[in-house]
A and B are shown apart, each in its own frame.
Chain A
Amino acid sequence: ETGVTQTPRHLVMGMTNKKSLKCEQHLGHNAMYWYKQSAKKPLELMFVYNFKEQTENNSVPSRFSPECPNSSHLFLHLHTLQPEDSALYLCASSQVGQDNIQYFGAGTRLSVL
């Protein structure tokens, strides 16, 4: 079992749909992150949660709404997305106060039609 699990692996949605991405980490970490990976662009940090508190929102449009109910789970709620939001969405976790290395899940490949 991998340390960071993301579901679903693939998602196709229309612009009027509402969906959620889920991330679960089994590493006992205290910080979790959402990144967006688009073709030919660097990974872009979207949100950071440290001890379940959102500490960073990297100018992300409000159609992306994160939720972190506990230190092991992170969600990204999606609504009224645009085709340019199609990308690979990656979740990561780390242990702040120790090595703070971020470990990534396999990602959710999102296509917005």
Chain B
Amino acid sequence: GQQLNQSPQSMFIQEGEDVSMNCTSSSIFNTWLWYKQDPGEGPVLLIALYKAGELTSNGRLTAQFGITRKDSFLNISASIPSDVGIYFCAGEASGGGADGLTFGKGTHLIIQP
């Protein structure tokens, strides 16, 4: 089946630093999504990407849909304590039907004050 390789697995950074994480796949996806999950909660959507090459921002977050459709990255600028959590990339291969998402294993972000 399809797999997403997400890296890094975890990051220990200082408050104020920029963060970068990425996902790669051997398969093509038509949609890339980035979610954040806090302890005891479900994943919350951060950014959705629909076109190859698309670069989208949401506040301090920026994500890009790779040209090959097989990769995506998420950047967080000037990290703050509430950015702590687990970030997941997810890909959808369908053309808009009700398919499930394929998820990466997550990047665990830890911020040291």
Mark A residues whose CB is within 8 Å of B: 4, 6, 30-31, 33, 35, 40-43, 45, 48-50, 55-56, 58, 90, 92, 94, 96-97, 99-107, 109
Contact = CB atoms under 8 A, between A and B. Distances in A.
Interface residues on B, range: 20 to 34
B42 A45 contact: no
Nearest to B48: A101
Contacts of A31: 98
A38 to B, nearest CB: 11
Interface in B70-113: 88, 90, 92, 94, 96-106
Contact of A90 (B4, B42, B97, B106): B42
Given A94-B98, A96-B96, A107-B41, 12 more contacts: A6-B42, A42-B4, A42-B102, A42-B103, A42-B104, A42-B105, A48-B98, A56-B98, A56-B100, A92-B42, A104-B43, A107-B42
B41 A106 contact: yes
A33 B43 CA distance: 14
A55 B106 CA distance: 27
B45 interface: yes
B24 interface: no
Contact of B33 (A41, A96, A101): A101
Nearest to A6: B42
A97 B96 CA distance: 6
